[in-house]
Amino acid sequence: MAEVLAGYGLDAVVKLASNESPFPPLPEVSAVIADGLDGLNRYPDGAARALRGALADRHSVDPSQVAVGNGSCEIIVHAGAALLDPGTTIIHADPSFAMYPHLAAASGARSVAVPLAPDGGHDLDAMAAAVDERTRLVIICNPNNPTGVYRAADEVERFLNLIPDDLAVLVDEAYYDFVSEPDRGRVAVLARTRPNLLVTRTFSKAYGLCGLRVGYGIGSAGWVGALDAVRQPFNTNHLAQVAALESLRHPAAIQARADEAIAERERVADAFILMGVPFTRSHGNFILMEPPDPGMDARVLHEGLLQRGIIVRDGSALGCPGTLRVTIGAPLENDAFLAALAAVVGTTTLRGDAPQP
Ligand SMILES: Cc1ncc(COP(=O)(O)O)c(C=O)c1O
């Protein structure tokens, strides 16, 4: 295994299982993190004022319309804590981000899991039809994890128009940066003025800061006030705040990284087509794939990749048995993955210059 990885200039396992960025934070961001160490004897700014202000400017909203959290996960958890009680329900898609049903479990509420449409995207009509007087929260994951399918802003807006104006909707845009559709920012624009809508984003993916934990939400002051009411006073640590703030000063560099992930995603997808690997077209930094031979168990493929040092996510852990979810890594990591995949499924690698495992 070590020789195989060394052939790609890699000296460790290739981790393509958690939709992380293969790149470290930008150098300017690492510098402010280092500077911030000296201040760690003090509590962070509990209101994350500087970061909230910068995010408010970025989204043309008032700072009272910005929630900051210990990862966007925390904001999603806060939404459940603020809105759900025993006897109420939360509606989300299935399969989707595994955390959503936990919100119901934590609050004694019931989770209503609406199956995805056949294309792997949210069935927004079925989700609207599932709304009843017990529903307190609807979550839309866009693009959806683990399928990567994106629903256009018009479709989300149509959904919002189908449901009661006072029903809280959270649109989880953790993979926003990897969407290449021209309408990708429009739901966050709707969140400036629609009182029931909150859009969450994260610094964990394109910004490469998942280890620090920082994410945010944009919505009405009412939505943000409800989230603030259930959060602990110092929920976002100082290093996360300064790193996120500095990252916002370098939008072109961040988008360049996201663009590289998009280009690599399409390269991997093209390789899948040549290899006869079925997959779902993704707008995230990951692709959900199946073994090319329907007779091959995805778990066998998963194990074969592991034996070659490539860690991908077994789809059965994501509610998608028979599939694997592979995160898009750096080009060399993707090469190593494709070569290992070709070796496991018994076809030849696509890059003539790549070493054979
Ligand atoms: C759909 C979705 N939402 C939210 C998150 C969590 O992001 P964060 O690191 O900001 O908590 C993830 C992480 O993988 C995710 O896939």
Could you tell me if the CB of 19 is within 6 A of ligand 1? yes
% helix, strand, coil for the chain, step of 5: 45, 15, 40
For 56-93, the pLDDT digits (tens) are 999 999 999 999 999 999 999 999 999 999 999 999 99
% of the chain at pLDDT higher than 90: 92
Could you tell me if the CB of 99 is within 6 A of ligand 1? no
Strand partners for 68: 216
- Give pLDDT, residue 346: 84
Could you tell me if the CB of 67 is within 6 A of ligand 1? no
- Ligand 1: atom nearest CA of 215 is 10
- Give pLDDT, residue 291: 94
Could you tell me if the CB of 202 is within 6 A of ligand 1? yes
Residue 332 or 1, more confident: 332
| Averaged pLDDT for residues 138-150 | 98
Which residues, 6+ apart, have CB-to-CB distance to 230 below 8 Å? 78, 81, 82
- Ligand 1: atom nearest CA of 210 is 9
Nearest to 198 by CA among 215, 183, 180, 214: 215
Alpha carbon of 194 to ligand 1 centroid (Å): 23
pLDDT band at 285; cut points 50, 70, 90: very high
| Averaged pLDDT for residues 318-327 | 97
- Give pLDDT, residue 6: 65
Give the residue, out of 99, 178, 204, 283, with the most ligand 1 atoms within 8 A of its beta carbon, to mutate for a pocket test. Answer: 204
Alpha carbon of 352 to ligand 1 centroid (Å): 36
- Ligand 1: atom nearest CA of 73 is 11
Alpha carbon of 73 to ligand 1 centroid (Å): 6
Alpha carbon of 6 to ligand 1 centroid (Å): 31
Alpha carbon of 143 to ligand 1 centroid (Å): 11
Nearest to 170 by CA among 203, 142, 150: 142
Could you tell me if the CB of 241 is within 6 A of ligand 1? no
Could you tell me if the CB of 75 is within 6 A of ligand 1? no
Could you tell me if the CB of 284 is within 6 A of ligand 1? no
For 210-259, the pLDDT digits (tens) are 999 999 999 999 999 999 999 999 999 999 999 999 999 999 999 999 99
Question: Structure tokens of 208?
Answer: 């490469």
| Averaged pLDDT for residues 271-290 | 97
E strands present in the chain? 14-16, 66-69, 89-94, 110-115, 135-141, 168-172, 197-202, 215-219, 286-289, 310-314, 324-327
- Ligand 1: atom nearest CA of 202 is 10
Question: Structure tokens of 178?
Answer: 């990897």
| Averaged pLDDT for residues 318-346 | 96
Alpha carbon of 176 to ligand 1 centroid (Å): 11
| Averaged pLDDT for residues 193-214 | 98
- Ligand 1: atom nearest CA of 144 is 1
Nearest-angstrom CA–CA distance, 344 and 31: 42
| Complete domains list, the chain, with CATH | 2-24+252-345 (3.90.1150.10), 27-249 (3.40.640.10)
Whether the bond between 331 and the residue before it is cis, its omega within 30 degrees of 0, is no
Q: In the block, which residue shows the tokens 């002051």?
A: 221
pLDDT band at 355; cut points 50, 70, 90: very low
- Ligand 1: atom nearest CA of 97 is 1
How long a stretch of residues is the chain?
Answer: 357
